[in-house]
Structure 1
Amino acid sequence: MYELVEPIGLLPYTADEPNETMFALGFTDYWDTYFAGRAAPLGQAGPEVVDALFYNFAPGEVARHIPKVWRTTTPEAAIAARRQGCANALRRILADRIAEPAFARTTELLLKAATSAPCEGRPMYAALRALPLPDDVAIRFFHAGSLLREHRGDGHIVALMSEGIGRTEAHVLAALDMDMPAEKFGRIHHLPAAQLAAVIDGLRDRGLIGDDGWLSEQGRAVKQRIEALTDELAAKPYAGLAAGELAELIAALEPVAKVLIAAQD
């Protein structure tokens, strides 16, 4: 389900249309649109709260955008712009498929799953769940995908913390697990060399990185446990579907996900 739903949740970061609608609000910096769009369901929460809930940004990065973005727009306007931009992208990518009854059925199954899980201990998911459900089918489809992505993200943070993996350490583990030097990984390559080296040294001191600079056997085991627990914690929404409905949803999402992935830049 992660592989089928993730392309929907990634629309704000892989399509041009969400950037266009967010820039139309007055933004000129991509990361301002990221923080305004994703944090908007939290209202005008301070940087400390957003930093804690997002978890994976280096110290000080959130504070460069929150609360500054709310001098440009409001949370309500950011939510509307992000939703509309993603709906525009879906209509471009999926074309006539959007108007088909089968797409409406898929959307309702996806939304049923996305609103079936408990909110306790899931702050980002809970914030998104508190928003009114949109009427437009394309926006409903994107909203359902976003709910499932934030639900999984909340669980992923639990999994990281259960293994004592800090926010920047998580990116180092992800990079090395993909056989990529941490210094080349997009989410942390911009950090000062000394800061990133200190994170890597800390993981090496704990035995998670070997002397060769790559994940040790222990490090790979930790990464595998994190991913396994993330999957386990992400399963709850789909328990809200009957067996036949889940099979139907999987079959319907497979071709859609394939098209969305092919359209990613």
Structure 2
Amino acid sequence: MNLLARRMFELVEPIGVIPYSADEPNEAMFALGFTDYWDTYFAGRAAPLGLVPAEVVDALFYNFAPGEVARHIPGVWRTTTPGAAIAARRSGCVKALRRVLGDRVESPAFARAADLLTTAATSAPVEGRPMYAALRAIPVPDDAGARLFHAASLLREHRGDGHIAALMVEGVGGLEAHVLLALDTGLPAEGFGRLHHLPAAQLAAVVDGMRDRGLVGDDGWLSGRGRAVRQRVEALTDDLAARPYEALEPDELDELVAAAEPLAALLLAAQD
């Protein structure tokens, strides 16, 4: 395991998931005219791609059931534009950061953390990283709070592109990835948030296919082979996520970790 990449993932992820863990981003998106959470998800995350068809979003997001993406893309663009969705999502996330972090957002240490994280987030090659490349095309904002969120989003999409590559190396499909994660954390597949809404027969077919390949045992939980696949996917994901941090000097990395640790702790506590 790449320990640096894993540690930075732990510190950056609480910032990157703000669109899904706080109310303010959803409220900002609803103000555009949306009434459905998943409309806000697809509009907010797919906006950097522009007006692409559902097939493209489905391929890049990777882990949605057949037909799920098409229920929202391109329909969301009848409600708003990609540019407006990007702006609303960003403003909502900055508002959430300010609520949770308070005066820290105005501190020199916060601005420094935003600068260091932005340096890392904008330094990696874009080849083979379509979601990262799309987000990289958006100008870096001037406001420190917006800059921190933008950098975390870039690093999240960079890691996500690598994660999909790791899954494909192991022959793990999108829905299968959710099953691997659920079973690895001790949850039955049907109880996992991204799977429980699927028709029982559809989910059973996914699990049966994994059982046929030896990833799931007869007891319905991960086999030794399934755990090994999951571990290899995570290890390769970490390896592929390390490149951005090579842009920082060792003392800058130490500074970034020290600044990000209290921010991540506060954001995680706010999620709870």
Same fold (TM over 0.5): yes
- State the Cα RMSD in Å: 0.5
> Deviation at 1:74?
0.1
Q: Is 1:128 aligned to 2:159, yes or no?
A: no
Equivalent residue, structure 2, for 1:198: 205
Whole-Å Cα distance in 2 between the matches of residues 149 and 132 of structure 1?
A: 17
Equivalent residue, structure 1, for 2:243: 236
- Residue type matched to 1:157 in 2? I
- Give CA-to-partner distance per residue, 1:114-140, whole Å, 9 cap, x none: 001000000000000000111111110
> Deviation at 1:181?
0.3
Q: What secondary structure does 2:158 align onto?
A: helix
- Give CA-to-partner distance per residue, 1:84-114, whole Å, 9 cap, x none: 0000000111110011111101100000000
Moved more, 73-82 or 129-138: 129-138
Q: Is 1:254 aligned to 2:261, yes or no?
A: yes
Equivalent residue, structure 2, for 1:82: 89
Listed as ranges, the matches of 1:1-265 within 5 Å are 1-265=8-272
- Residue type matched to 1:190 in 2? H
Whole-Å Cα distance in 1 between the matches of residues 202 and 49 of structure 2?
A: 30
TM-score normalized by structure 1? 0.99
Whole-Å Cα distance in 1 between the matches of residues 155 and 17 of structure 2?
A: 11
> Deviation at 1:57?
0.5
Whole-Å Cα distance in 2 between the matches of residues 121 and 24 of structure 1?
A: 35
* Structure 2 segments unaligned to the other structure (5+ residues): 1-7
Whole-Å Cα distance in 2 between the matches of residues 256 and 171 of structure 1?
A: 28
Whole-Å Cα distance in 2 between the matches of residues 205 and 126 of structure 1?
A: 37
Whole-Å Cα distance in 1 between the matches of residues 109 and 203 of structure 2?
A: 48
- Residue type matched to 1:206 in 2? R
- Give CA-to-partner distance per residue, 1:51-103, whole Å, 9 cap, x none: 00000101100000000000000000000000000000001111100111111
Whole-Å Cα distance in 2 between the matches of residues 173 and 229 of structure 1?
A: 15
* Structure 1 segments unaligned to the other structure (5+ residues): none
Q: What secondary structure does 1:247 align onto?
A: helix
- Residue type matched to 1:175 in 2? A
Number of residues paired by the alignment?
Answer: 265
Structure 1 runs (4+) deviating above 3 angstroms are none
Q: What secondary structure does 2:244 align onto?
A: helix
- Residue type matched to 1:186 in 2? G
TM-score normalized by structure 2? 0.97
Identity of aligned residues (%): 76
> Deviation at 1:149?
0.2
Whole-Å Cα distance in 1 between the matches of residues 204 and 26 of structure 2?
A: 33
> Deviation at 1:14?
0.5
